[in-house]
Amino acid sequence: MEWVGILPEDAPDPRAEWAENLKLMPIPVLGLMSQPSLEDTDSVSLNYALDDHGYSGMTASITYSLWRNPDDRSDPVNLADLDEETLRGIDDVPRWPRPPWLIEQVERMRYPQLWEAVRTTWHREPHSSLESLLADHVNHILLNQYRQHLWPGGKPWDQHAPVVTARTVNGQARTVVNGVEVPGAEVDTDPFVYGIGASLAGGGVVTAVLPRAELKWIQVRFATRR
């Protein structure tokens, strides 16, 4: 679904299409366990690869809103650290009416978003290892969310070597999936993010990459998404 120009007030919420697309996933989609500090707002993207035999791979990525004080959402501690330009963009209300879901999404920008924090990855044939998929996820987040921290003054199109490789992943970690402790893999050496993941009994891999600064608010345990 693509829109160009001004969205009409009755434009459909794209999350309905995203939810429908998730039905293509051959395995259950996992996220972090339900907890007061995390809000799953149905911002789940699906990427896939096709070949002559159909879908060869899929990745579902979940973005969460973070509430540092979920008991009082008006508490300023919940606000994200935004620059003046971003705040002006949020506060600048256009003259034309907007769809309710768009108003909600713009208002949500005031609060921290854990962008593509959890991935469920499936491949039809044996593909990459857990360690490799976790490293890919960590590098994806670092490249898109921490580029200026890692490469100050760099240009968005600059190419950089991966910060994390499969060789540097700790393959002896443990994590919890649906209440059961299982073998996992971990990236606990990066100053900006923490990564954890596990292979799934029904096939596929789940990985999470979270801001290290926000870990104290989060229980890092996986569960099948509702």
d(CA 124, CA 219): 31
In a domain, 77, yes or no: no
Could you tell me the residue range of the domain that residue 189 belongs to?
Answer: 14-66+114-224
In a domain, 139, yes or no: yes
Q: Phi-psi bin for 109: left (phi > 0), alpha (psi -120 to 50), beta?
A: alpha
Is residue 217 very low, low, confident or very high in pLDDT (cuts 50, 70, 90)?
A: very high
| Helix intervals (H) in the chain | 14-21, 84-91, 100-108, 130-145, 147-150
Which residues, in sequence order, are bridge partners of residue 51?
54
Q: How many domains does the chain have?
A: 1
In a domain, 201, yes or no: yes
Percentage of the chain modeled with pLDDT above 90: 72
In a domain, 5, yes or no: no
d(CA 66, CA 79): 9
Segment 48-65, tens digit of pLDDT: 999 988 999 999 999 999
Q: Phi-psi bin for 195: left (phi > 0), alpha (psi -120 to 50), beta?
A: beta
Give the pLDDT of residue 6: 78
Segment 139-172, tens digit of pLDDT: 999 999 999 889 888 888 888 889 999 999 999 9
In a domain, 209, yes or no: yes
In a domain, 20, yes or no: yes
In a domain, 153, yes or no: yes
Give the pLDDT of residue 2: 44
d(CA 141, CA 116): 8
Tell me the pTM.
0.92
In a domain, 19, yes or no: yes
- Which of 69-78, 151-160, 207-216 is the least confident region? 151-160
Contact 184, 200 (CB under 8 A): no
Which residues, in sequence order, are bridge partners of residue 209?
195
Q: Is the pLDDT of residue 1 over 80?
A: no
Contact 220, 214 (CB under 8 A): no
- Mean pLDDT value across residues 85-113: 90
- Mean pLDDT value across residues 30-51: 95
Give the pLDDT of residue 5: 62
Question: Pairing mode, if any, of strands 38-51 and 54-66?
Answer: antiparallel
